[in-house]
Structure 1
Amino acid sequence: MEYTTFGRTGLRVSKLGLGGAPLGGVFGPTDERDIEKMIHEALESGINFIDTAPSYGRGESERRIGSALKGGRRNEAVLASKAVGPGQSFDYATTIRSVEDSLERLQTDWIDLLQIHDVEQVPYETIVNETLPALEKLREDGKIRYIGVSTRILSLLERYMGLNRFDSIQFYARYMLIDHTAKDIVLPLAAEKEIGVINGSVLGLGLLADTPAPFLRPNLIDEATKRMEQLEFLRKTAPHGLVEPAMRFSLSQPAIHVTLTGAATTDVLRKNLAFCEGQGLDPEELQRVYGLFQGRSLFPAEKEEDK
């Protein structure tokens, strides 16, 4: 396992992190005993970063992680969760309550990194005047150590990084083989400001694993398919042959501190662990990938000026 320093926090984190959505059964039924076994194997394999959220399985992901870490294993993990979420108010009181509930489900006195979940859901002013002050108060009280922000809208990440009040950012499906737009502005800015970077959904919500998420729109899947056809030079002969190059693409990017794996079984976990020995894409292949989709987001433009 490779490790790196998580921005200015000084935390030493594994470059492969465990993503919490599958742990709560978000993508299909899971057995709690199997999840606990997988979390323990992840820790024993050198993974020390676990990322979750209250909305993953309506708290089930946090509850299962807390159960797996009790009995003396809490100190083995850098534990990251999120505040509030879809359909909730991001006001001061709700943010405090959200974190208090997470602490209870996780069975811990502190959370290492607390991120504001999908900030595109609410106006910028609400985040700055309500959500962020609540997290800063929780940090003063010792209940959280560091504060982060998450969204896939890159211009919003730029705006929030400009506040110099966040220790980390998390985006998803914005540094992957078929959409690497995060590398142009967001990654250099985060490096300049010494902000920790978490990359989620490097398989593009299942697209690069040939198992697209059911909620993806047909036109987006069609465009992704066209891009994937241009990546045949990377495809391995094994089933889901773009998974390995997709993982190596992110794990070898020095500006990304943690690449999340959405493993729900020990089999998937072990396969992803095999990509953590420090070998990225061939330099010529990497430049070819960058040239194919330079500046071209896979996702349609959002009206970000309203947020």
Structure 2
Amino acid sequence: MTELEYTTFGKTGLKVSKLGLGGAPLAGDFGITDEQEVQRMIHAAIDGGINFIDTAPLYGNGESERRIGQAIVDRRDRVVLATKAARSDMRYDYETTIRSVEMSLHRLQTDWIDILQIHDVESQPYELVVSETIPALEKLRQDGKIRFLGVTTRNLELLRKYMATEMFDSIQFYTRYMLLDHTAKDETIPLAKELNMGVINGSVLGMGILADAPAPFLREDIQADGLARMEQLAFLRKPGPKGLIEPAMRFSLGNPDVHVTLTGVSTLAALQTNMSYCDGNGLASEEVEKVYALFQEQPLFD
């Protein structure tokens, strides 16, 4: 069994596995899942050394949180648990934020959440988040229901605006530091390092594009652009099917300034494969530089 690599999650001081379990696929949002298989997979992840789990009320309309809560009820002290508030189809006012977190606590069967992140802040007015969402979360922190605050969005310019407030302990972006799009590397990741913030990297397989299984909701032009970029990454491809998954995982896991790389899987076999890449061996430096030379300042997703 692979001995996983760990790091310190910014100024929180938390020791976290560099590979984290992402909750989005656990409740069927990306295809049918077997609940018993999901339970076995979460147990195997924790027993294998993964101690970071990230989810959100939006995933499966709360079902992801419920399944995670069921799986960790007797392992809670072994998990750094991250979830989000609220949902992008809601208004993040004070009362809604409080209610969202209380419902998450209930579904997760826990008294506290380690990292509570404001979910996809691009969906809300900045003034509302500052005047109502953040004060609600600070109240919950004072009450001992959450420990640290985070913020998530794919909009890097907006993310840096929130980071500059220095109100947050962590950030999460997705599809912004991967083989097909590394636009977070020049400003966002260095700023997080300067501010000593935890960094969570999501969707390192580019919504499935790098796994040769693009998500069905992706626009055709994005899929076509992604496939064209993959051709330029042929020097990294491993033999056999889905040959870019391993280099994609190692690209993120090998960056010392990315504290947690999320793996979104729903089967035990896929989990075990991805865990084998969290062994401290990233891509060779010359390979990373070659990747950086491609698609410079060219985001794949809007």
TM-score by length of 2: 0.98
Q: CA RMSD in A?
A: 0.7
Q: Is the 8 A contact 2:148 2:169 kept in 1?
A: yes
Are 2:47 and 1:39 equivalent residues in the alignment?
no
**TM superposition shift of 1:145:** 0.2
1:192 alignment counterpart: 194
**TM superposition shift of 1:65:** 0.6
- Equivalent positions of 1:200-219 (< 5 A) are 200-219=202-221
Runs of 4+ more than 3 Å apart: none
Match of 2:31 among 24, 28, 51: 28
Match of 1:256 among 255, 258, 281: 258
Q: How many residues align?
A: 299
CA distance in 2, matches of 1:267, 1:238: 17
1:220 partner SS:
helix
2:60 partner SS:
coil
2:64 alignment counterpart: 61
2:179 alignment counterpart: 177
- Equivalent positions of 1:54-93 (< 5 A) are 54-71=57-74, 73-93=75-95
Q: Which amino acid aligns with 2:281?
A: Q
**TM superposition shift of 1:26:** 1.1
Match of 2:53 among 46, 50, 53: 50
**TM superposition shift of 1:167:** 0.4
1:183 partner SS:
coil
CA distance in 2, matches of 1:2, 1:299: 30
Are 2:156 and 1:154 equivalent residues in the alignment?
yes
Q: Which runs of 5+ in 1 are unaligned?
A: 301-307
1:120 alignment counterpart: 122
Match of 2:21 among 14, 18, 28: 18
1:295 partner SS:
coil
Match of 1:132 among 131, 134, 144: 134
- Between the aligned residues of both structures, percent identity stands at 65
CA distance in 1, matches of 2:27, 2:112: 21
Q: Which amino acid aligns with 2:102?
A: E
1:163 alignment counterpart: 165
CA distance in 1, matches of 2:95, 2:173: 26
Q: Is the 8 A contact 2:22 2:53 kept in 1?
A: yes
* Cα offsets for 1:236-261 (capped at 9, x unmatched): 11211000000000000011000000
CA distance in 1, matches of 2:240, 2:169: 39
CA distance in 2, matches of 1:213, 1:40: 27
CA distance in 2, matches of 1:58, 1:295: 35
CA distance in 2, matches of 1:298, 1:32: 33
**TM superposition shift of 1:299:** 2.1
TM-score by length of 1: 0.96
Q: Which amino acid aligns with 2:91?
A: S
1:285 alignment counterpart: 287
Q: Is the 8 A contact 2:175 2:301 kept in 1?
A: no
Are 2:267 and 1:241 equivalent residues in the alignment?
no
1:57 partner SS:
helix
